[in-house]
Chains A and B, each alone.
Chain A
Amino acid sequence: MTDSFTRLFAPIGAAALSFFAAIGRAAIFAGRALLAAVRPPYYPARFVQQLLSIGYFSLPVVGLTALFTGAALAQQIYVGGERFNAASTVPAVTVIAIVRELAPVLGGLMVAGRVSSAMAAELGTMRVTEQIDALVTLRTDPFQFLVAPRLLAAIVVLPILTLVANAIGVMGGYLLAVYRLGFNAASYLETTRDYLEVTDIVSSLVKAAVFGFVLALMGCYHGYHTSGGAAGVGRATTNAVVSAFLLILLANLVITVLVFG
């Protein structure tokens, strides 16, 4: 009886232990990374390099995502709103949905897909080729040299990307509403401005900063702990993207409930 009970629950217990151990490891990693970020020596050139890599080179993908999503959203709100004579709510609902949710979340997910995977692959390759060990023997803290610049750059640049995505997303809705659905251009912009609140923008930027932290942390964490050669690098890359996606969506829910709940 005891044996069969153990056989049934042992794998569940082991999985739970493994899950919480992973959370603990990630939390310790995050703590070390944040400590490394505030402690000298600093690497400003590497920080700027990461700003470009994460921010500037993500602009096209984030901009296009926001443009298409804003336009599609305006179309859906128009069609849905018509069912109860509320088609005129397109500008208000579009701006609120874009700024509060879609720009930060979709922007974060797109950047995570692009950047977390690249970070995990780069650090993972450095791990399996002993470059990270070499850094230690050359008296350089890998957390300060590799992790901190990526983490800080992502935290700084994601809000900027999200601001741009907010503007482009609203523009996408505007273009579709004005040129396809026949809205008056001036009144669309006026309604958009009237319904947009400071809280919406602040929450959008706070979310983006948190998502930046999450996606860089997951990329660095999985890359740093890579083992098992090329296959290990592949696993680290996949795990980085999947965990970054899930944590971004979870963080979004928590922040939304805290700010707007």
Chain B
Amino acid sequence: MSPAPDPAAMEERNPGAAIEIAGLRKSFGEKIVLNGVNLGVRPGESLVIIGGSGTGKSVLLKCILGLLQPDSGTIMIDGIDMTEAPGGDRADVRRRTGMLFQGGALFDSLNVWRNVTFALTQGRARKGRSMRSLAVELLAKVGLDESVADLRPAEISGGMQKRVALARAIASRPDLVFFDEPTTGLDPIRANTINDLIRGLVTDLGCSAITITHDMESARRIADRVAMLHEGRIIWQGPVEMLDDSGNARVDKFINGRTD
């Protein structure tokens, strides 16, 4: 189990992780969701995946995390193929990852601070005092004060739940983080706090990050590179600076919200 992070050590840089996805396919019955996805993330890089609703962005993330088994293709994380790796190797990779789910996915039966430190305690009541103070520090990073630490997830707003989930995702100091719609349901100020936090994880701490979002302002603030998923394939990818000059009609239409 990971030791409790030392707050000073929180500022140390992570090595980041490299991801290489090749020929990834996933269908549900007759419906083809991913149809040969090829994508790469370099260590310490922030990749934002954009695309319309129902284009398979969350499915792609779940395949990378090993929550769904793809039909074919490979997902290499630092040289380990997550589609075929034995349980121990997968666990080693998961030890280095953090994930923010779209709806937060906080555990209803645990209070906020136990949720935040779950990656370190695996739900067991141990080192209560130090874990609580660590949780309070992490909550401060996402703009929440100590008063929410002892509340249950059902007692706080949806936006606060999202921020608690973000604190949980980074509690174990992962070097590879996944964010599924991190700013959905947040007001613009809170959304920018989260964007800055994600950017800081990459720029200051050296984490690799994959973010799914519909929020183009968020994408521009978070991304080093942007990829667009459409009909199960990556139809464009490039540096965020090129997003407005992608030369791809579908990307232009999407980022400008045109309905024509």
Interface residues, chain A, CB within 8 Å of chain B?
Answer: 41, 43, 45-46, 125-126, 129-131, 133-140, 145
Residues in chain B near residue A130, CB distance under 8 A: 101-103, 105
Residues in chain B near residue A139, CB distance under 8 A: 91, 94-95, 119, 122
Cβ of B125 and Cβ of A45 under 8 Å apart? Answer: yes
Given A43-B124, A137-B94, A139-B91 in contact, is the A129-B119 Cβ separation under 8 Å? no
Residues in chain A near residue B135, CB distance under 8 A: none
Residues in chain B near residue A137, CB distance under 8 A: 65, 67, 94, 97-99
Cβ of B122 and Cβ of A138 under 8 Å apart? Answer: yes
Given A130-B102, A131-B107 in contact, is the A140-B123 Cβ separation under 8 Å? yes
A129 to B165, CA, bound (A): 13
Residue of A nearest to B120 (CB): A138
- B106 lies within 8 A of chain A by Cβ: yes
A175 to B67, CA, bound (A): 58
A139 to B172, CA, bound (A): 11
Residue of B nearest to A44 (CB): B124
- B113 lies within 8 A of chain A by Cβ: no
- Write the nearest CB–CB distance from A52 to chain B, whole angstroms: 14
Cβ of A131 and Cβ of B105 under 8 Å apart? Answer: yes
Residue of B nearest to A125 (CB): B108
- Write the nearest CB–CB distance from A225 to chain B, whole angstroms: 14
- Write the nearest CB–CB distance from B98 to chain A, whole angstroms: 8
- Write the nearest CB–CB distance from A91 to chain B, whole angstroms: 47
The 0/1 profile, CB within 8 Å of A marked 1, for residues 133-166 of chain B is: 0000000000000000000000000000000000
- B62 lies within 8 A of chain A by Cβ: yes
- B179 lies within 8 A of chain A by Cβ: no
Cβ of B108 and Cβ of A145 under 8 Å apart? Answer: no
Cβ of B99 and Cβ of A145 under 8 Å apart? Answer: no
A252 to B108, CA, bound (A): 36
Residues in chain A near residue B94, CB distance under 8 A: 136-137, 139
A126 to B168, CA, bound (A): 17
A45 to B103, CA, bound (A): 28
A206 to B106, CA, bound (A): 39
List the 7 shortest-distance A-B pairs measured between CB atoms, nearest first: A134-B105, A130-B105, A137-B99, A130-B101, A138-B119, A140-B122, A131-B105
Total chain B interface residues with beta-carbon distance under 8 A: 24
Residues in chain A near residue B118, CB distance under 8 A: 138, 140
Chain B positions 206-232 with a Cβ under 8 Å from a chain A Cβ:
none
Residues in chain A near residue B99, CB distance under 8 A: 134, 137
Residues in chain A near residue B125, CB distance under 8 A: 45
Residues in chain A near residue B103, CB distance under 8 A: 129-130
Residue of B nearest to A133 (CB): B67
Cβ of A134 and Cβ of B101 under 8 Å apart? Answer: yes
Cβ of B123 and Cβ of A133 under 8 Å apart? Answer: no
Cβ of B123 and Cβ of A134 under 8 Å apart? Answer: no
Residue of A nearest to B91 (CB): A139
- Among A45, A46, A137, A139, which residue has the most Cβ atoms of chain B within 10 A? A137
Residues in chain A near residue B62, CB distance under 8 A: 133
Residues in chain A near residue B66, CB distance under 8 A: 136
Residues in chain B near residue A136, CB distance under 8 A: 65-67, 94
A94 to B86, CA, bound (A): 57
Residue of A nearest to B107 (CB): A131
Residues in chain A near residue B91, CB distance under 8 A: 139
A134 to B65, CA, bound (A): 10
Residues in chain A near residue B102, CB distance under 8 A: 130
A-B pairs with beta carbons under 8 Å apart, 7 shown? A45-B124, A133-B101, A134-B106, A137-B98, A139-B94, A139-B122, A145-B122
